[in-house]
Structure 1
C-alpha cells in the first residue's frame, strides 16, 4: 500500500469515527455512550480508535476549526490576496476544513451541539481561542491595528457564519456537496455591496 493510500485510509477511518461518535452523541447524549461503545459501533478495537482520536471529546468534536501554520504564515505576511477581509475569509474557510465538510456534516454538528449543551460551550470556548489567535496574527500585518483587526474579523466571521447557517437551514437549495468557499465568497460580495454608499 502506498503512503498516499495509507493516509487516505486513515483520513476515511477518522471521518467514520467522528461521524459515528456524533451520531451516538445525538441519539444517546454525550454521556450516554462509552469509548468501547464507539469502538464497537465503528467496528474496530479501542486501541485502533485511539490511533485516530485522542479522546471521546475529540471523536465527537473532531471537526473543530483549527489554524494551519502555513495559512497563518501567509495571513501574517499580508496574503494571500492583500485584501484583509478576503484573506480572513479564506483563512476561516480553511480552518473549517475548506470545502470538505458537506451539508450533512454541518447539520450533524448542529444536532450534536443542540443535544449536548456542554459540548456547545466547548465549541464556543474553542472559537474564542481562535479569535484571540487570529487577532494576534493580524497584528503582524503591516497597517493593521487592533481595532482594524477586530472589525475585519467580525465582518469575515459574520459572512462565514451566515453562509454555514444558510447551508444548514436550506439544504435542498444548497445541495449536499456545496462548495463552502464559493458560497462564502458570494456572500462576501453581497456584504461589500451593502457597505458601499447606497448599498
Structure 2
C-alpha cells in the first residue's frame, strides 16, 4: 500500500471510529446498527468492514493488545523489576498514552460511561495481563490483580485529569505523578 493509500485508510478508519463513538454516546451502543454507522460515515457496509472488524471495534477502536515482546518482558519481571511500575509502563505503552488528545480521551471515556456493556471487552484485556503477570516470580494471581487494580485506578484518574485540565501535560506524565501520590498515601502510617 502506498503512503497516500495508508493515510487515506487511516483517515477513513478514524472517521468510522469517531462516528461510531458519537452514535454510541447519542443513541447508546444498542441504539444503532452497522448500517446506521456506514450511512453516518458515507460508506458501504463492506467498506466499513474493510476498516474495522466489528461494531464493537468501531466504537472502542482497536483496544491495545500486548505484543509478544511486551508479554515476554512482563513475564520475565521487566521492564523495571517493580510490579506496579512495570504494569503502568506497559499499559501506557499499549494505550499509546502520549498520542491521544484530551478530546480523544473524553470521547472514549463518555462512550464507556454511557455504555457499560462495553466494559466486558476491556475486562478481556485485563485477564490477558493477569495471565502474563502471574507468571512472574514476584506476582501470583492475587498480586497481579491488585497491581492491575491500582494501575487501572491511576490511569482512570489521570484520564479524568487530562480531560479537565489539559495543561497538566501528557497522560503518561500525569499517571506517573499519580503513582507517586498513591505511593505516598499508602506509605502514610496514619
TM-score bracket, shorter-length normalisation: 0.7 to 0.9
- Which of these residues, 145, 157, 174, is aligned with residue 166 of structure 2? 174
Q: How big is the alpha-carbon RMSD for the aligned residues of Structure 1 and Structure 2?
A: 2.5
Tell me which residue corresponds to 2:157: 162
CA contact (8 A) 2:162 2:170 kept: no
CA distance in 1, matches of 2:143, 2:27: 44
Tell me which residue corresponds to 2:117: 121
Q: Secondary structure at the match of 2:77?
A: coil
CA contact (8 A) 1:103 1:178 kept: no
User: Which segments of 5 or more consecutive residues in structure 1 lack a partner in the other structure?
Assistant: none
In the alignment of these two chains, the number of paired residues is 190
Quote how far apart the aligned CAs of 1:94 are: 2.5
Quote how far apart the aligned CAs of 1:181 are: 1.2
1:128-162: CA deviations, max 9, x gaps?
Answer: 32232222211222232333323322222221122
Tell me which residue corresponds to 1:194: 185
CA distance in 1, matches of 2:147, 2:102: 26
Quote how far apart the aligned CAs of 1:178 are: 4.7
Q: Secondary structure at the match of 1:141?
A: coil
Q: Secondary structure at the match of 2:43?
A: coil
Compute the TM-score of the two structures, normalised by the length of structure 2.
0.84
Compute the TM-score of the two structures, normalised by the length of structure 1.
0.80
CA distance in 2, matches of 1:151, 1:70: 23
Quote how far apart the aligned CAs of 1:34 are: 3.0
Distance 1:181 1:9, change over 3 A: farther
CA distance in 1, matches of 2:118, 2:30: 15
CA contact (8 A) 1:72 1:91 kept: no
- Mean CA deviation greater in 103-112 or 61-70: 61-70
Quote how far apart the aligned CAs of 1:40 are: 2.8
Tell me which residue corresponds to 1:81: 80
Distance 1:146 1:114, change over 3 A: closer
CA contact (8 A) 1:67 1:95 kept: yes
1:93-144: CA deviations, max 9, x gaps?
Answer: 233333222221222223323444xxx1232x22332232222211222232
User: Which segments of 5 or more consecutive residues in structure 2 lack a partner in the other structure?
Assistant: none
